[in-house]
Chain A
Amino acid sequence: MPLEKRRKTPEEFLRECQAEEAAATQQGHLKIILGYASGVGKTHRLLDEARRRRERGQDVIVGAMQPKVPSEVEPILRKLEVIPLMSIDGGVAVDVNAIVRRHPMVCFIDGLAYDNPPGARNPTRWQDVTDILNAGIKVVASINIQYVAELAPQIEALTGKTVTQTVPIHFIQSASEIEIVDAPLVEPIERSPAGAFDARNRQQRLSKLREMTLVLAADVVDQQLNAYLEEHGIHQQFGAHERILVCITPRSNLAEMLETARTVAERFHAELTVAYVDQPNLSPADRAALDQRLEEARRAGARIEILHGESPSAAILDFANTHGVTQLFVGHSQRSGLRSRVWGNPVDALIARSRGMDIRVFPQ
């Protein structure tokens, strides 16, 4: 797809305004260091960044540390200025007032997912961090994937542990930068003894957590990429994130299309949208069939889009091109009398005019 600058649609304009507003209200710059388990080295990565920034002459402080500090980071920590947590009613919380008064360039928070004791400024630590950011201070904070609120059910099913102190995913997604620590645990190349069933189970759990961490980071990066492209008026789709668009009609063999789409979406960690090009004068029977298909698609977790346009293929391609679709699913016999005589067979048109995507034609 060529680079092109074109006039913004009202939706794009609105989104830009919203983005600017959000940027204006959140002055500080948040960087998140995301790990998949404790012990992967988040604290080390965090403090190492603090050390390097300090060596480059930046004014850095540590605003929160984990209760237990790994021994190898102690020497780094000793060289850094720490604003200690304050005690409230036997609990502890970040001393937001002291940090804002001190007003460093960068504040480091090791461990985001803590609830504050009653009587603290905010119920949770991530809200404290928001206050620090709003004071115009840059924050670098670490978190373990297991404490992301929206992933809690998945994590619980996986680990059997219930997590109570969490951070909402939108806070993670609002970060200006995200970095993952994908280091292996304990032994780098582990020679696990044969038949060590527990070790293998543990390894599997950790692998699953690693995968979730990588995908979450990729999703955040994808949002940042789109924001960057939008901000710079670049209308180019990179296709790093696979996006599937399933085009249906009242007569589509939805079952097979949806089944394949769900599998492909799952394997590629892809986004799934089901679209229908609105047609006037649909018979009541067709309308009912369509509604039933859309309902099925919705139940399968797909996003639904109703497209409009004289030419179905043009409407589909326009949507696909502006939304970064990489895989387009269509049924074979998508013709409808007069329309196909005027516009040609829509499937042929899609095949001829698409760029940068796969067109998957399903037998009907």
Chain B
Amino acid sequence: MVERTSETTGATEPGAAGQSELQNSASAAPGLRRNPERHRGRLKIFMGYAAGVGKTYSMLEEGHVLKAQGVDVVIGYFEPHGRKDTIAKSEGLEIVPRKEVDYRGSVFEEMDTAAIVARHPQVCLVDEFPHTNIPGCNREKRWQDVQVLLEEGVDVLTTMNIQHLESLNDQVWHISGVRVRETIPDWVVQQADEVVMTDVTPRALLHRLQRGVVYGKEKADQAMQNFFREQTLVALRELALRQAAYEVEHRLGDAGAASPAQQPLSGRLHKILVLITEDPETAMLIRRARRVSDFLSAECFAVAVQPAGDLSGLSQKEREAFEKHLNFARNLHIETRIIEGDDVARALVDFAHRNEITQIFLAQPLESKWVLPLISRNLVKRVVELAKDVQIVIVSRRMR
């Protein structure tokens, strides 16, 4: 069997054949541990569950506290949204002017990362961590700009809502009916030194909305019909509180002493393996596997099985789907392989046994289409039958 490592470019390169595949992966799949480098800036995230809970306000307030202590603080990017309280709070803090970016004849404003690096403050305030930059910027995402600031040794305070966390994307859709496009990989949040919950009750938030504090009247009414329904807000708030609790526990492990988060599951290290296919449900499967791995402190790997050991035998459409899913997994710091085999179940289980995998994650077989279900249902069945000492987790769809 020939197994090949694909690099982050997404291209499949011929690799060293037949090596024990996963032995060196611990260092290659970081994601969990905080960057130990001394001069890296520290990151603090103000986490909320909706617009208007007060994340930006809290961040600015902390900026003032720091400034009063003699710390060199600047605002790198701040989105006023026309909110009076927030705008007033920004006064007295130095603002690094935004950069103008031309895109298709219009001018957009983005954070000027280079100017902030040149100014080199001790602490930089950056609003809206999950923001996607206009095409033509150096980096696609604001969180990538923040990485640059951190590497330059600048401490960053930033804001985000729980619904932008990648591994919760399906659940957020299930709760709110909104498919959030601007997501942040979980490892980026895990690398933060601190995640603080900005909390307000949904009732208080709805009052703010009604009073026109958050949006203008018309937009507020519209928002309350859609995203800002009470049950949606309550559920998102619960998600945020639980995530914040997890982030705290996760960092307890980092601080040194043995904490539950660092002890391996069941007294042994768990390794999770995800099967990548062209099936669109694969994205959901990867998110869930990533989340479970993180919570169990398990390593996570993903494989695709192809007769040729690469994607060459596929139609362009199929190949694109595979590549998209492999890239998606890698962006979440999951190491990927394409393994050779005609029999997917057999190849998957053999790989699992050879690499001491303890859990295999598969997507639930689809019911409605009429060719696929037989194949995929058989796949699940055969993997369950073939796998010895391996738990099989079948992830079913989070539906609306």
Contacts and interface: CB of A to CB of B under 8 A. Distances in A.
A241 B107 CA distance: 44
Interface residues of B, number: 73
Interface stretch (B86-94, B240-248, B301-309): B240-248
Contact of B44 (A180, A188, A215): A188
B241 A354 contact: no
A239 B398 contact: yes
Interface in B284-336: 288, 292, 295-296
A358 B231 contact: no
A149 interface: no
A355 B397 contact: yes
Contacts of A363: 387-391
Contacts of A179: 199-201, 204
A238 B174 contact: yes
Interface stretch (A97-105, A118-126, A261-269): A261-269
Nearest to A354: B396
Contact of B252 (A184, A211, A264): A211
Contacts of A183: 58, 196
Nearest to A263: B265
A241 B295 contact: no
A276 B248 CA distance: 35
Interface stretch (B12-20, B27-35, B75-83, B255-263): B255-263
A208 B252 CA distance: 8
B179 interface: no
A351 B365 contact: yes
B234 A356 contact: no
Contacts, number: 178
Contact of A266 (B171, B260, B393, B398): B260
A228 B242 CA distance: 19
A358 B241 CA distance: 22
Contacts of A184: 194, 196
Residue of B244, B288, B381, B395 with highest tally of chain A CB at under 10 A: B244
Given A187-B69, A189-B42, A356-B398, A263 B296 contact: yes
A88 B234 CA distance: 42
Contacts of B164: none
B182 interface: no
A199 to B, nearest CB: 11
- Going nearest first, the 4 A-B pairs with the smallest beta carbon separation are A214-B245, A218-B241, A240-B238, A238-B235
Interface of B: 42, 44, 58, 62, 65-66, 69, 123, 155, 157, 171, 174-175, 193-194, 196-201, 203-204, 230-231, 234-239, 241-242, 244-246, 248-249, 251-252, 255-257, 260-261, 265-266, 288, 292, 295-296, 359, 364-365, 367, 377, 380-381, 384, 387-400
6 contacts: A189-B44, A214-B248, A239-B398, A347-B384, A360-B359, A360-B393
Interface of A: 1-2, 31, 177-184, 187-189, 200, 203-204, 207-208, 210-211, 214-215, 217-218, 221-222, 224-225, 228-229, 232, 234, 238-241, 256, 259-260, 263-264, 266-269, 332, 347-348, 351-352, 354-363
Given A188-B65, A363-B391, 11 more contacts: A182-B244, A214-B241, A214-B248, A239-B398, A240-B175, A267-B261, A351-B380, A351-B394, A358-B394, A362-B391, A363-B388
